[in-house]
Structure 1
């Protein structure tokens, strides 16, 4: 192992060596000593002087200090905004580069951890498209570079005389392509189109630099982020190539944009300017890519693009903002001593359409009674966003917000409900939402007008209800008159309906303009209104023509539309304009809704009183299984610990890290061994989602530096589930040699209580070094809701949350909003070792600080339930008499293959077996088992077999490694004959007949048979009873553990072992010999100062903490900030088995942001601690840097 300070020492030697060579070189005049750089020193001095110069000038000219403070605040805000933006970009690029690893580490168990394409079945992952984009991205960058340099730059230079020297000095769109996170296809719309929601994410390392040489001005962009959901519509679908007539794309909601500026544009990151600049940029994007604006690309000729670019809306939603209740009180008096009320108003927004209600003074239960009408362009997708504020003279206080999906309104026709406000302590808003369909005829127009007349709107600020909408598509004009002086005009159009006027964009210097703009108007009564059109020059003074169209003319037109040329008045004789006008009647379909608001209220009240009798969990509830990982041993690992400066290779201290489904397991460290035996077991609950992998990594434990990598491997969970049981050696990747022996079992679940006894019986026969006990069952709990919970001490409704405890596992539900009937609808699971002993405890509380009742459910009660499922209301203890909780508890027995009495799937068991005559030193080649092989054991091979204890089998005979084989040992009664001939594909080891003759006085035995289920049955010394438990245990691999001497009277081999079960257990002699080591970390003195100040010119202090390692168990103290004589006063405990040579390792580190600095270490022999029983003393730290000292 390398010294952590060796790097510094080497660099020092190199530096000194370089200096020596320079001094001795004949032509060393041109070289400079590496330790001194005059330019950098002068530059640092100049920066310091420049920073102090404004302060000096302010004092010299007696400028107010407030200017300096203001400038410092602006600089601090700019720096903070700048660093935050760079950090976001770095984080996004890091996630972009490691997305696959991040996803594989977090896809498991809970739906909230799944990506959108897994969580929502209709959102699909399109990795193939991302691969295509990655391949073509460099060519996209080349095209955009040509576009900027050859087209956009000349256009900018010609637009202003000040920008005639503008050039793009660098255009690089990087190597990070735009990614499509997921695609959702909508099939509920008409058949003539394809509707797609494309979730895009662009984290680009783009770099674009611009320079205006005339003003010595440089600016640019270095990094862009863009995230959002873009809707893509493929329509119309035609019966000819290319099948799709046009592609229309737009954002339903504004995307998230983040730009990292450089150069002069860095000023845009100043607080205040950054918001304004981001808003201006987003407004520019929204003007052509956010609803109601669309980007349409025609794919065929002679296509009427106007209808695609500006289609008719999907419908109209009439919003009745009625009232609010229990809003927070924000107005306080006498500095908060007296609580006041609020002056609430509501802000309603659908896309770009925003409405503000009037202010109701001094109340927390305002009644607005206002009505608004909004045009809905896309459903599903658009939402009604509501925000409530308290009106104040300075800044309005936020009272809460909520969102309502307008797709629900379209399906329900009418929604009349209270909506709870989010991001606030209390409050709700009452809305009545009506979906109005667009009728292309006038059959129901009179009914609509009569119904609108009967509607009364209490607020004066609300407009009267509309009977129809008018959509106007302004296409183009021809032969407009010239301006004064015979100049071409720059025409624009003003369209007016009553007192509402809209303006088109301006077409510059032309008499044949093309606007291609769309407008929409609400019409209260089509019989009485008309649309007035004024064509004017861009100065809005000179009129180029006018037109007035009565809407009654549309009522008599086919399909209520006029799509034609209109002659302009007050213009030239040939002046005309092309307009498409469409009128649609707004109709509320009342056939599928209650006839009156009273009936609707009664129906809602009646439904609220009906409580469900059973839960309704997701179909995926209780479908998980258990992956059981048995880490057996390693072989031929890479040595990492070098001695004598690397001249002599040592061994390694290997340990294993296993990761799957977000769970990480770490084995104990085996010191100085290249063929370690761990014999540890881990369990993890997983879903059967595709793409999951088991990651196994080996490391060499080092005390003073980063642990050395010793290899890795990956195993697909799909392969494990398919095989159900795998027992094999896996070769390590990324290293020269090494392999690991794993037993992987996918344990499915069953609802058969009769399997429990077999599972528990097998469980009692298994033991592992990490003290793990195999689980016998899985308990799934679905927390649905509660009812009639007690009120808080203050009299308010509680914020209920539930805590579920089983054994050492605890889960918490979300905290619901204030209600005594909360709904959680969350699922949890527990690994259960013994269902007959475990108890599930559910504790309810308000915001985790006030108890509201509990429930104690013994798991054994589920064993008597049908299908092991309990799904009902249960009463709570410690609450009101009516308090109940609705939950579903479902028990699943783990159906391991080991419990089956039939044969187990064949496999191979191979691995190095170690001769354990008191040590773990000698090794033998692996044995592979499949084909029947009969072997006899010579008489001179000293094998001792007791009559009533576990049979000891010699581990010395070694068979070369064939593909698969099954070994059956037959013990002769008398006159043992020579070994029988083995099958042709196996070859006995040459030492088979010699080892026992060399050391006959030391019988070599193996006393433990570890249970596996991957081989054919190994025939034991006695003939087992059919269907007995020993038949299951016989399928085992031989484990290399220390042997136990057998009494001499047991040397004689009996003909047949009695088929009786032993009356008592025969544990290992070391069973129950463990003890507890209690470690008190009190304080330290005179530690090394590792933190440097002022670039190392001044010594600082350290932030020390302690690491303790003993027998693979690690402890870590808390960090003491800036202290060389820290006091921790912490206590740690661990259970240990006394072993020779075991030591307690204590290390001190200085906590840093990047890498912690080493402060020293010392070792304490465990045998000294045990002999003294109690030790209280100071220990001097070893290996301390900088030749300093320290004590602990």
Structure 2
């Protein structure tokens, strides 16, 4: 070991002394500043809240960031692990093939991604710069922020992972392949940006969602696939960590605003109905890939909600709520009006959404309590969420149901949905117009107009004599769509398609404007009466040039258009069970939801009169459908009889008895009454759905003390608040009818270790214990619930339970 020289020792002593002196000076200035701040606040008679407030906010922010940092670290560690290691570690986000038997393992694809990831980095730069950046810039205009642009874009060394792949092989056209992929990215990216002169950065970006890839058309020459359409089925989950000067915005409220802007930007690009189209063969025209091709329209009626949670604070305790509902499907969202100070709002809200891909689509209904606060920052309280599989709507044509809210202690929402197909027959327009008139809702549509903007030739130059940066706006009614901007050209090419809902094709008009984005000058105008398409063959116009007015003499725009009439096709409910199973494995009939149309038992419904169902001239088709379904329920609710356990404490056997006419007249083996339930499992949604229909022949021991029963459910083995569900309490009733639906989020593999405990309890005084009148425990591992099962169960004495 060589000893240091004299000069080196002197230099080291100087550095140590310098560091000590700087530390002392920094500590002195810091303490002096703290004393001065406290003195100034006292001298100016400011409240101590001005000092405590920022400290409290700082502590909350630090704790919030620590929790998020832990989640990001776990996600990045999972991304680097092998598939087997992820499963053994029991990470919450397991691969989708663990839960779904029709999802394939693709670990070999992840190995390929690791090798090609450096090349993906270069492609991602183009996507961020040319697509994401303009979309975010436009979104920030609403918040009066400008000048956004990316400065550095590096995705890092941790590649994207694919958790599983599902390829559809049923009900798919011959000329295409449809594939779903569970995609997750939790990488060590390094992205910097500038906005309004403020520089910031993004670290630890995380994206998770379900990506669909449609390969079409299939061709006979290499590469055998003409093109790709890539899109998210619904908004992906996006999270990131802000660094730099923008780190001050990374706190609850402001960070939610930023994430919402990013999610909206991604949604405008590749969340249904938006798609990224990639042409793989020159033999395939862009029109066939990039022109929207809707499969139909879903018409949604959010009627009302009931028994919502109380979220507003009042002087004397909890008040009510100011609820509103957000309807989401794919990237499209709608919001009802806010109803003030009520737990049972009636919205009567109508909306429509274009559907370009039926498979695996979900309708989501989120209820919120509106609260005042800062614009753009989330202040509203969550009241619950309900989801419906679109396949159930397309299969039945019309569906009306009460949905139990998830993520809430109580509450239900009443919705109706109608599936409308697209017709090439112009004679169907009269029926569509008549139906919208009967609904008495002016915002409803009767047709869909699809417009493909190919290009413009010979645009005039702007006033500055320089080449323009043109874009095109398209307007039908109150809806306006816009193409991307093309830079410095008088011959722009867009190849973009747009879809419009048309209220009346006989009166509506399509307005197209070409505008220079630098000067906002109009470069050309085109006006087209939609009624003209009614006279064309199949109501279509192939790609052809149209002259632009208010433009140059040779300016032409190349368009393709077609019109489709919305048509309701009534389904044959008697043949419903013979239809092909849906992709999630749910082949059940509507036995789990049909009873919710009325708060009576299925037997009472079948015996009721037609006047007992909501009816008006505007809703005659819906009434007929509901009555038909009610009649079919009459036999579906009497078929399955499950005997009581041989002794108390033993779960009921799933073996089926023969049909018995004494299903409602018997008091059961223990003379404690009987309960009627419907159970089914939705593989697509990973939900166990339980419908409590009714209880009959509860014992009446004292005529002066009639029970006030309700039904309570637990998902064993744990008897926790999270698994607790309960119905309303019906007073003075030995034969209560509930018809309430409850859901549990649970994987099919986890159901093998679970039991469902169903107890009938009578409500007593505030300080008195509510005794259990009877109980049933169902072992879920022995039950095949891929199809709905309606059953009668004998109530048993309560089993002993541990504290």
Question: Does TM, scored on the shorter chain, surpass 0.5?
Answer: yes
| 1:407 matched residue in structure 2 | 391
Deviation at 1:439, TM superposition (A): 1.2
Segment drifting more, 281-290 vs 786-795: 786-795
Shift in alpha-carbon separation, 1:823–1:264, aligned structure 2, 3 A: closer
Q: Is the 8 A contact 2:162 2:181 kept in 1?
A: yes
* Aligned: 1:565 with 2:540: no
| 2:410 matched residue in structure 1 | 426
| 2:329 matched residue in structure 1 | 350
Could you say what secondary structure the match of 2:444 adopts?
Answer: coil
Shift in alpha-carbon separation, 1:543–1:612, aligned structure 2, 3 A: same
| 2:625 matched residue in structure 1 | 600
| 2:695 matched residue in structure 1 | 788
| 2:276 matched residue in structure 1 | 295
| Residue 610 (structure 1) aligned to one of 620, 626, 637 | 637
Deviation at 1:144, TM superposition (A): 6.8
Deviation at 1:245, TM superposition (A): 0.8
Deviation at 1:414, TM superposition (A): 1.1
Deviation at 1:799, TM superposition (A): 3.2
Deviation at 1:40, TM superposition (A): 6.7
Shift in alpha-carbon separation, 1:113–1:262, aligned structure 2, 3 A: closer
| 1:198 matched residue in structure 2 | 181
Could you say what secondary structure the match of 2:710 adopts?
Answer: coil
Query: Could you tell me how far apart the structure 2 residues matched to 1:218 and 1:453 are?
Result: 55
* Aligned: 1:378 with 2:357: yes
Q: Is the 8 A contact 1:200 1:228 kept in 2?
A: yes
Give the aligned length.
Answer: 644
Deviation at 1:553, TM superposition (A): 1.4
Query: Could you tell me how far apart the structure 1 residues matched to 2:721 and 2:62 are?
Result: 40
Query: Could you tell me how far apart the structure 2 residues matched to 1:343 and 1:841 are?
Result: 35
Deviation at 1:872, TM superposition (A): 8.2
- TM-score normalised per structure 1: 0.48
Shift in alpha-carbon separation, 1:828–1:545, aligned structure 2, 3 A: closer
Structure 1: tracts of 5 or more residues without a match? 1-20, 154-161, 458-462, 617-781, 832-839, 863-870, 885-1192
Deviation at 1:77, TM superposition (A): 4.8
Q: Is the 8 A contact 1:250 1:295 kept in 2?
A: yes
Alignment of 1:206-355 (within 5 A): 206-207=189-190, 220-330=201-311, 334-336=315-317, 341-355=320-334
* Aligned: 1:88 with 2:7: no
Shift in alpha-carbon separation, 1:873–1:824, aligned structure 2, 3 A: farther
Could you say what secondary structure the match of 1:58 adopts?
Answer: helix
| 2:710 matched residue in structure 1 | 797
| 2:164 matched residue in structure 1 | 182
Q: Is the 8 A contact 1:804 1:811 kept in 2?
A: no
Q: Is the 8 A contact 2:267 2:331 kept in 1?
A: no
Alignment of 1:769-918 (within 5 A): 788=695, 795=708, 797-801=710-714, 814-818=723-727, 844=759, 852-853=772-773, 874-878=793-797
* Aligned: 1:130 with 2:113: no
Q: Is the 8 A contact 2:272 2:330 kept in 1?
A: yes
Q: Is the 8 A contact 1:815 1:847 kept in 2?
A: no
Deviation at 1:194, TM superposition (A): 0.9
Q: Is the 8 A contact 1:345 1:388 kept in 2?
A: yes
| Residue 554 (structure 2) aligned to one of 574, 591, 599 | 574
More helix by share: 2
Deviation at 1:417, TM superposition (A): 1.5
Could you say what secondary structure the match of 1:797 adopts?
Answer: strand
Query: Could you tell me how far apart the structure 1 residues matched to 2:118 and 2:518 are?
Result: 46
| 1:229-262 deviation digits (Å, cap 9, x = unpaired) | 1111111110111100112212222222222343
| 1:513-535 deviation digits (Å, cap 9, x = unpaired) | 23333332222221222212233
Deviation at 1:348, TM superposition (A): 1.9
Q: Is the 8 A contact 1:800 1:846 kept in 2?
A: no
Query: Could you tell me how far apart the structure 2 residues matched to 1:313 and 1:46 are?
Result: 70
Query: Could you tell me how far apart the structure 2 residues matched to 1:466 and 1:872 are?
Result: 42
Query: Could you tell me how far apart the structure 2 residues matched to 1:370 and 1:147 are?
Result: 38
Alignment of 1:26-37 (within 5 A): 30=9
| Residue 446 (structure 1) aligned to one of 430, 439, 445 | 430
Shift in alpha-carbon separation, 1:492–1:846, aligned structure 2, 3 A: farther
Could you say what secondary structure the match of 2:110 adopts?
Answer: helix
Q: Is the 8 A contact 1:800 1:847 kept in 2?
A: no
Q: Is the 8 A contact 2:462 2:519 kept in 1?
A: no
Alignment of 1:533-544 (within 5 A): 533-538=512-517, 542-544=521-523
Q: Is the 8 A contact 2:398 2:625 kept in 1?
A: no
Alignment of 1:427-826 (within 5 A): 427-457=411-441, 463-538=442-517, 542-562=521-541, 563-592=543-572, 596-605=621-630, 607=633, 610-613=637-640, 788=695, 795=708, 797-801=710-714, 814-818=723-727
Q: Is the 8 A contact 2:473 2:482 kept in 1?
A: yes
| 1:191-235 deviation digits (Å, cap 9, x = unpaired) | 2111111111112123457899xx9x9854443222111111111
Shift in alpha-carbon separation, 1:379–1:42, aligned structure 2, 3 A: farther
Q: Is the 8 A contact 1:383 1:403 kept in 2?
A: yes
Shift in alpha-carbon separation, 1:469–1:219, aligned structure 2, 3 A: closer
Query: Could you tell me how far apart the structure 2 residues matched to 1:144 and 1:33 are?
Result: 48
Q: Is the 8 A contact 1:227 1:255 kept in 2?
A: yes
Query: Could you tell me how far apart the structure 1 residues matched to 2:119 and 2:179 are?
Result: 26
Segment drifting more, 118-127 vs 134-143: 134-143
Q: Is the 8 A contact 2:548 2:555 kept in 1?
A: yes
Query: Could you tell me how far apart the structure 2 residues matched to 1:140 and 1:847 are?
Result: 63
- The structure with higher relative contact order (CA 8 Å, sep 6+) is 2
Shift in alpha-carbon separation, 1:105–1:52, aligned structure 2, 3 A: same
Query: Could you tell me how far apart the structure 2 residues matched to 1:173 and 1:340 are?
Result: 49
Shift in alpha-carbon separation, 1:794–1:115, aligned structure 2, 3 A: farther
Q: Is the 8 A contact 2:514 2:523 kept in 1?
A: yes
Shift in alpha-carbon separation, 1:131–1:785, aligned structure 2, 3 A: same
| 1:1107 matched residue in structure 2 | none
| 1:339-370 deviation digits (Å, cap 9, x = unpaired) | 76554433222234333333445544333333
Could you say what secondary structure the match of 1:399 adopts?
Answer: strand
Could you say what secondary structure the match of 2:268 adopts?
Answer: helix
Deviation at 1:179, TM superposition (A): 1.0
| 1:552-579 deviation digits (Å, cap 9, x = unpaired) | 2111112212221101122221011111
Query: Could you tell me how far apart the structure 2 residues matched to 1:206 and 1:397 are?
Result: 33
Could you say what secondary structure the match of 1:250 adopts?
Answer: strand
Shift in alpha-carbon separation, 1:47–1:66, aligned structure 2, 3 A: farther
| 2:577 matched residue in structure 1 | none
| 1:1123-1143 deviation digits (Å, cap 9, x = unpaired) | xxxxxxxxxxxxxxxxxxxxx
Query: Could you tell me how far apart the structure 1 residues matched to 2:756 and 2:275 are?
Result: 56
Query: Could you tell me how far apart the structure 2 residues matched to 1:510 and 1:852 are?
Result: 79
Query: Could you tell me how far apart the structure 2 residues matched to 1:380 and 1:518 are?
Result: 22
Shift in alpha-carbon separation, 1:530–1:262, aligned structure 2, 3 A: closer
Query: Could you tell me how far apart the structure 1 residues matched to 2:95 and 2:369 are?
Result: 38
Segment drifting more, 427-436 vs 293-302: 293-302
| 2:597 matched residue in structure 1 | none
Structure 2: tracts of 5 or more residues without a match? 134-145, 374-378, 575-619, 644-687, 700-704, 729-737, 764-768, 783-789
Deviation at 1:434, TM superposition (A): 0.7
Q: Is the 8 A contact 1:416 1:430 kept in 2?
A: yes
